[in-house]
Amino acid sequence: MALLRDRIRQSARLAASSLTVRLLVCVGVYVTFVAALLFVTFETVDRRVENAFPTMETVLEYESDLQQDRFDALPASITKNCEIAVFDGEGNRLYASDAIIAANVSASDLSLLEDYEGGRGFYDILESEDSAGRPVHTVILCRYDEDTSSVHVEDYCVLDSSLTVVEGGLLGGRQELTEREFNLLKGLFGAGKTIEKTTYETVSGESRTLVLVSPLVTDASYSNAYSKASSLWAVAAAAALAGAAVVAVAVVRIVQRGIHPLDRAIAASRGQRRIGSRRSGEKRRPGGSGTIAAELAPTYDSFNELMGELSSARDENRRIVADVSHDLKTPLTVIRGYAQALYEGRVPPEKQQDYLKALVERSTASADLLDSLLAYASTEHPDYRPNMRREDVCRLVRAFVAHAVPEAERSGGSIDARVPKDALFAQVDELLFRRMLSNLAGNSFAHNPAGTHVEVSCERRGDAVVIAVADTGLGIPGHLRGRAFEAFVTGDDARSSTSGSGTGLGLSIARRCATLMGGALWFADSPREPFATEAIIELPLDEAGAEER
């Protein structure tokens, strides 16, 4: 459980430091804002259009207030575009939204108004003419039967051109209608308005009749109302653009804050300052607060690592220059001193031969150092390309050992080869291969006493050819084992060329040769018996390579 919590916390920290997550949050917030803006604008426009043409359904949204006779709860957005009157069961007017409906609608008009819910049915007025061509109005009270999905005629009456009842008992005791009453029967209230009613009961069971007068919906009036309400879309568009600007600024700031630590690292590298690395997702700003974006953390680490490598390379170059200067200065100083002494005739005749021998030895040491330095520089050059060919490694090992026997004998040691009968092919540069083995074997003879035996062997291990150069010498001192392949590392801390410790480039060049051929070189932790030191070279096996790469 604790492990799960730690993972959740780590994931949360990583998400919080993720540039992608932060940008997605910005986009998500903006999308949510736009969606909410569209929803609110659409609802507001729809509500404004609806309020411009209030219907009974709109008014009945406040039915709970009406049932408690709280008529002041009706919003002005509705009452400003319509008139409402409420009567009790005895015909007393309880409420009128304005003076117009109060003056023009009375309890006696209620029987002429069509019921919104169709409780008494609905009126259907048929227009015709009598024999004299005068208009005749047939008023029919119809009821819709939901069970049979049919319309039934409940009652009717016929009005002549003067609106006198000539037939039917629909209107009860009325013998004639006025023009206003006839319009009420048709659901019209003045010019461009409709009228209807609905009945309901209060919470105490009292009867109420609500009369609604609302604007008549026409294409022109609807278009005008919708055009006015749609002006809100311009406001919404402006708000969306403002939100986009805010999000753009936020995105820029997030990106800038995300890359700021990297900028600081670059600036620090220019000032030769090393920026410490932390775990991914927890990179702190150098010299500031905040975290680096998780996506940039690998780049940040790689940059710091690269800066560290460059710093190490600079230190290495300075060390190499200092070591080369020291190693060249000593023999050259001796050469100059001895040569000047011989030139000035200050050397006794019996010692001149010793002086000349010393001059030869010192000049040879200097030449060897320069040759090694040239080989080191050429193999380390970025444009250096080895001449790789498919060669039999066993043949190359035999040839090298045969060539190295005289040198081994001069050093008081011995060398032999142990190779299989079958050929082992690999892509190698023959010149680099010989130099690699020569440096390893030469290092064994130079740093070990007489009688040291060197064995060069090769064998196949999986998909690799493994060459081993082992000697029976003194082994590598413990304090040098970790740095044996570094340039100018020798067993002589004073770096005196008189010690015979060598240039300190042999092993470094040997490893570089192995690397250039796609292989690797290292010292075995536990050399085979009876050897004290064993250098292992591993090259990729090439069983069916091209003749040239």
Within a domain: 122:
no
User: Among 189, 175, 219, 221, which Cα is nearest to 114's?
Assistant: 189
Which of residues 41 and 322 earns the better pLDDT score? 41
**Among 180-194, 292-306, 414-428, which range has the highest average pLDDT?**
414-428
Do 348 and 444 reside in the same domain of the chain?
no
Within a domain: 460:
yes
- Looking at residue 408, its pLDDT comes to 93
Span 76-85, mean pLDDT? Answer: 88
User: Among 469, 467, 470, 511, which Cα is nearest to 487's?
Assistant: 511
Calculate ∠ Cα 340-500-473, nearest 5°: 165
What is the spatial distance between Cα 321 and Cα 540, in angstroms, rounded to a whole number? 35
Do 354 and 462 reside in the same domain of the chain?
no
Residues in the chain: 549
On the question of pLDDT at 56 being above 70, the answer is yes
What is the spatial distance between Cα 519 and Cα 287, in angstroms, rounded to a whole number? 42
Q: What percent of the chain has pLDDT over 90?
A: 40
What is the spatial distance between Cα 124 and Cα 152, in angstroms, rounded to a whole number? 12
Within a domain: 193:
no
Do 349 and 400 reside in the same domain of the chain?
no
On the question of pLDDT at 427 being above 80, the answer is yes
- Looking at residue 118, its pLDDT comes to 65
Span 13-28, mean pLDDT? Answer: 75
Containing domain of residue 324, as a range?
Answer: 317-363
State pLDDT tens for residues 339-357.
998 888 898 999 889 889 8
- Looking at residue 548, its pLDDT comes to 43
- How do 122-129 and 135-145 pair as beta strands? antiparallel
Do 473 and 351 reside in the same domain of the chain?
no
State pLDDT tens for residues 487-516.
767 655 433 343 444 567 789 889 999 999
Measure the CA dihedral 246/252/254/258, to 10°: 180
Within a domain: 501:
yes
Span 118-141, mean pLDDT? Answer: 86
Do 401 and 449 reside in the same domain of the chain?
yes
What is the spatial distance between Cα 518 and Cα 434, in angstroms, rounded to a whole number? 16
- Looking at residue 422, its pLDDT comes to 93
Do 458 and 496 reside in the same domain of the chain?
yes
Which of residues 8 and 142 earns the better pLDDT score? 142
Q: What average pLDDT is seen over the chain? A: 83
- Please, which residues have CB within 8 angstroms of residue 183's CB and are 6 or more apart in sequence? 189, 190
What is the spatial distance between Cα 308 and Cα 316, in angstroms, rounded to a whole number? 12
State pLDDT tens for residues 258-276.
777 767 767 766 665 444 4
Do 337 and 451 reside in the same domain of the chain?
no
What is the spatial distance between Cα 426 and Cα 407, in angstroms, rounded to a whole number? 27
Say how many C-beta atoms besides its own lie within 10 A of residue 266's C-beta.
14
State pLDDT tens for residues 379-406.
777 888 999 999 999 999 999 999 999 9
Within a domain: 411:
yes
Which of residues 434 and 143 earns the better pLDDT score? 434
**Residue that terminates a domain, selected from 308, 329, 363:** 363
Span 243-258, mean pLDDT? Answer: 84
Do 332 and 440 reside in the same domain of the chain?
no
Overall number of domains in the chain: 2
Instruction: Give the DSSP letter of residue 525.
Output: S
Do 389 and 504 reside in the same domain of the chain?
yes
On the question of pLDDT at 183 being above 80, the answer is yes
Do 391 and 533 reside in the same domain of the chain?
yes
- pLDDT band, residue 370 (cuts 50/70/90): confident
- Looking at residue 88, its pLDDT comes to 95
What is the spatial distance between Cα 26 and Cα 378, in angstroms, rounded to a whole number? 54
